[in-house]
Structure 1
């Protein structure tokens, strides 16, 4: 009889943007590739594993990446193309899983159904990886387990092109030696408090005295102790939708005119509206992000009276936020502009659609 425990996969494409570029341009294969602007103010969107060996990471200033890896090849990002490739990947996921919970363009949880003792989970994982490669020419790292938490940790265990299966009976053996930073939700500040308390591994967190954990973690102590024990009852949620959609642009020189800023916002708003229509979604809130030449960042948002996927409605709300900001500035200088929408809904009440 089939065991009703579920087999969960976490699939993470390997250096997705950079791998797409290496796939499309054979001359880049085996070379350090950095996706993103290579100007003085550019930012790394993605780095191939060849570039990561030199310490290059996403979100790093391009100038620093150039210093770390001077022989890297910089490639301009092609986000529309990456979305097309992502759609092909998710078609593979849908063909192999009962439910798919997308996390980003290149990452998802898959509910592969009940455990079947007649089929080895590793064999299922190999078939999934091969199907992704056959459809796209790209490699993925796959973690398999009985919970989302362990599957996600497993997918990162043997990157790139890895496959790690963690049976229930080996979960603690897998978790205990891991550094506490590997647990979701533990950032540098929390890790620092735990280190001060003498807790460095997941096993030490799981076995630590309750009084010590409460002092370091506060009300979250019980939650983190559960994670350290591998407990995660969350199902794969195929109803999950993206919480926001946004577009950003970084400029080699500051923009000093409000008209130029509004022109960029309108272009970004049109792109956001197009993506809303492609996903059959509507948005309730409009966001604006502005970063100055001195790297200070301002974020503002405006809730609408209803839901929209109209480019002009999004643009007018974002431009109004920009005008309000500019009214308080003696001098305008902007190096980055981001326009986005959130409060996404698939089927709002018809009376609420703007």
Structure 2
């Protein structure tokens, strides 16, 4: 089998970096993105403010207690999606296979490419092209698998890069604190310290069976990771995967109110599925088919989101652009694409935490009682 080479790219403090592009006076300042000083949560924190212990998902009140002089910015709506797509386009034009893991994070599979070029130099050149084009700082790790590449990226930050040569995985990992392994949270970290495991190399003092006895199935997986073993594949879900729904009407309809109510209902349905997959979508499409089977569709790029109301507004605009008024409709469809992993930072609005909790509550009801249990009033047809 050919030697695997996986690169992991991560835009450094992406949302803060974008804000600095918008306002250079913020450079090197203690900046918090998300909400206002009075309410909300931290969506992103600059390196200057992280020194005080501020981190994403922290309540804003606590963050400002730790760093009273922090500069809080609400967030430039639309700019994050723009720069994320710009970086995606650069990578897509050069990489043989890539995965957009989140709005600011990418994996590239370069396995087999070492026959044609130096994969390390190629990755350095790609990073430089991204920096030259976007003016954003970006770090990468290059290794034999996704896990080691991601950890290498974290060690290379800020704005650096690191190549872990094949065969050196255990040496590289061994010196690091055990909570550098993705998935080792506070509880697991405490349990490992109780076992006198402080560094990744300490895990190897135990057998997989002993760790499994102490930590359950996670113990054996942890042992594999400590050995630098990981078989996760780079999957280009960004372009290939989408979530869609269609409805073929038994009785063709030209009733605009009925058609719009159906559009809202279907948009809510795909948005719910999106959230269950913990994804954000950056593109929405609407399809209309008439009785003679003529089919038209149109799509639009939108800011990455998971919110019904934003999808619905975009879907309604596309419908009005497409629909030939007065013509009966045979089929109506909605599709979400350009999917990326759900991240709190994907929607940086002042009311983010409030909206996110609202959607969690709505989805909990839908999951328990079925999708139609909660619908917007405009999605409920009269007479039903």
TM-score normalised by structure 2 residue count: 0.65
Asked if the contact 2:145–2:232 (Cα under 8 Å) also holds between the matched residues in 1, the reply is: yes
Residues 199/238 of structure 1: CA separation in 2 closer, same or farther (3 Å cut): same
Looking at structure 2, the residues matched to 196 and 296 of structure 1 have their Cα atoms a distance apart, in angstroms, of 38
Paired residues for 1:155-194 under 5 Å = 155-194=153-192
Paired residues for 1:245-264 under 5 Å = 245=279
Determine which structure has more spread, i.e. the larger CA radius of gyration: 2
| Greater RCO (CA < 8 Å, at least 6 residues apart) | 2
Residues 167/245 of structure 1: CA separation in 2 closer, same or farther (3 Å cut): closer
Asked if the contact 1:34–1:72 (Cα under 8 Å) also holds between the matched residues in 2, the reply is: yes
**What's the CA shift for 1:280?**
6.7
3-state SS of the aligned residue for 1:168? coil
Residues 82/297 of structure 1: CA separation in 2 closer, same or farther (3 Å cut): closer
Q: 2:67 aligns with which of 60, 69, 72?
A: 69
Question: Does residue 6 in structure 1 map to residue 4 in structure 2?
Answer: yes
Alignment: residue pair count: 284
Residues 218/303 of structure 1: CA separation in 2 closer, same or farther (3 Å cut): closer
* Counterpart residue number, 2:236: 238
Asked if the contact 1:38–1:63 (Cα under 8 Å) also holds between the matched residues in 2, the reply is: no
* Counterpart residue number, 1:317: 375
Which string of whole-angstrom CA distances, capped at 9 and with x for unpartnered residues, describes residues 44-67 of structure 1? Answer: 111111222222211112222223
Asked if the contact 1:194–1:216 (Cα under 8 Å) also holds between the matched residues in 2, the reply is: no
Asked if the contact 1:4–1:114 (Cα under 8 Å) also holds between the matched residues in 2, the reply is: yes
Looking at structure 2, the residues matched to 201 and 45 of structure 1 have their Cα atoms a distance apart, in angstroms, of 30
**What's the CA shift for 1:210?**
4.2
Looking at structure 2, the residues matched to 114 and 150 of structure 1 have their Cα atoms a distance apart, in angstroms, of 18
Q: 1:49 aligns with which of 47, 50, 53?
A: 47
Asked if the contact 1:205–1:228 (Cα under 8 Å) also holds between the matched residues in 2, the reply is: yes
* Counterpart residue number, 1:92: 90
**What's the CA shift for 1:150?**
0.6
Q: 2:151 aligns with which of 144, 150, 153?
A: 153
Residues 171/268 of structure 1: CA separation in 2 closer, same or farther (3 Å cut): closer
* Counterpart residue number, 1:22: 20
Asked if the contact 1:190–1:216 (Cα under 8 Å) also holds between the matched residues in 2, the reply is: no
**What's the CA shift for 1:118?**
7.1
Asked if the contact 2:19–2:76 (Cα under 8 Å) also holds between the matched residues in 1, the reply is: no
Looking at structure 2, the residues matched to 38 and 18 of structure 1 have their Cα atoms a distance apart, in angstroms, of 15
**What's the CA shift for 1:214?**
2.4
Consecutive unaligned residues in structure 1, runs of 5 or more: 248-266, 282-288, 308-312, 321-354
**What's the CA shift for 1:200?**
1.8
Q: 1:123 aligns with which of 121, 145, 148?
A: 121
Paired residues for 1:319-338 under 5 Å = none
3-state SS of the aligned residue for 1:109? strand
**What's the CA shift for 1:179?**
1.6
Which string of whole-angstrom CA distances, capped at 9 and with x for unpartnered residues, describes residues 191-239 of structure 1? Answer: 2222212222211212313453123222333222111111112220113
Question: Does residue 299 in structure 1 map to residue 361 in structure 2?
Answer: yes
3-state SS of the aligned residue for 2:155? coil
* Counterpart residue number, 2:218: 220
Q: 2:37 aligns with which of 36, 39, 62?
A: 39
Asked if the contact 2:141–2:156 (Cα under 8 Å) also holds between the matched residues in 1, the reply is: no
Asked if the contact 2:17–2:136 (Cα under 8 Å) also holds between the matched residues in 1, the reply is: yes
Residues 206/136 of structure 1: CA separation in 2 closer, same or farther (3 Å cut): same
Which string of whole-angstrom CA distances, capped at 9 and with x for unpartnered residues, describes residues 73-95 of structure 1? Answer: 21112342201110001111112
Residues 159/318 of structure 1: CA separation in 2 closer, same or farther (3 Å cut): farther
Looking at structure 2, the residues matched to 318 and 180 of structure 1 have their Cα atoms a distance apart, in angstroms, of 47
Moved more, 113-122 or 138-147: 113-122
Which string of whole-angstrom CA distances, capped at 9 and with x for unpartnered residues, describes residues 119-172 of structure 1? Answer: 444322221211111221101110001101110010000211010100112111
Looking at structure 2, the residues matched to 98 and 159 of structure 1 have their Cα atoms a distance apart, in angstroms, of 25
Question: Does residue 139 in structure 1 map to residue 161 in structure 2?
Answer: no
Residues 162/303 of structure 1: CA separation in 2 closer, same or farther (3 Å cut): same
Q: 2:103 aligns with which of 105, 112, 118?
A: 105
